[in-house]
Amino acid sequence: MPTITFDAHGFPRSWIRRQGVLTVSWQHIARAAVSLGTTHGPWSGAIGPHGALEMIWRVALVRANLSTDRQDRIIATDEFWSLDPSEKGAVTFFLGQVSMKLFADTMGVPAVARVDEILRAMGRKLRGSRPDFYGIRPHAGSVAIEVKGRTHPIDTPTIDRAKAQAASLPRVLHTGVHRPYVHAAHFYDGAWKALLRDPESTGEESGPTAADILLAYYRPLAAAITDGDLFRQVDISGRQYYTRHLYAVDLTVGLQVGFVDAALRGGGGDGLELLGLFNENDQPGDRHLTFGDMKRLSLGESEQRQSIGRDGVLVQTGTAWQGSLGTDQ
């Protein structure tokens, strides 16, 4: 199973331990890649067929640039190391975001959306530097995340600047605990490593609502999956999903029907309904998973070639994923 070594400072024990190794499945990695905050906002009208193409692009970046070694560590492929420096920079920035989404899932933050798109939708002027993402934890608060991805280890001044960015973002309204943090990822000794740092929040409670963030998260996913007539409705373990197969990367992406309907209702979506579904979808037993639990879940996902998140997002990998991603598929 693919693994990522991590080092985390400043977090409660209930969120993540200080150091360790996170075990994931390739299915979870693919789910993280397709469900990251889209680069075109849900209010811009720029979603549709391009959303599915963006999903394909993201999954292709993962498959082209990541593999595992004999110790099951996630490593960069030869194709990655053949890129020129500017190309490596673009790829590692994206991979840093994928890494962030994997750890956010682990810490109980299954939905993250891009800050710029949310603030723009609120009519805020975008001034200065800002963190990359807002995230929502069911029933339990919100986060602001600054993400860094690098080919080589990240220096302390860069981390300190990122911490200041994360801490300064306006807090999400009416969500209780708001936790800013930095997620920095890089290759160290040939393997992917994640650094998580949690500064004290200095931002005022004048940001978006949880409903705003969930609308920004779900609407592009829902639109990409259901665009045209290439999607279908299926039953998985008693829950209904709309799914779409991305043939170019042999991957099926799905979202629970309730989330799709709420995200696209009336052309603009219903954020409050999404919030209700999001909280309802959260299972109490999922809130305090140990790393042993995560490893067992990842093994199950690998065997079933399927990963379903607490956010209602589904990913299934096809036969093209067998035997092509290092020591584990």
Domain residue limits, the chain: 3-321
Residue 36 pLDDT greater than 90, yes or no:
no
The average pLDDT across 138-154 equals 91
The pLDDT confidence band at residue 46, using thresholds 50, 70 and 90, is very low
Share of the chain above pLDDT 90, in %: 63
- Residue 95 neighbours by CB under 8 Å, 6+ apart: 61, 62, 65, 66, 149, 185, 192
Is pLDDT of 189 > 90? no
Q: How confident is the model at residue 177 (pLDDT cuts 50, 70, 90)?
A: confident
- Max mean pLDDT range (89-93, 167-171, 226-230, 262-266): 89-93
- Return mean pLDDT, the chain: 88
Phi-psi region of 282 (alpha: psi -120 to 50; beta: other; left: phi over 0): beta
Report the alpha-carbon distance of residue 135 to residue 124 in Å, rounded: 19
pLDDT at residue 42 tops 60: no
Whether pTM > 0.85 for this model: the answer is: yes
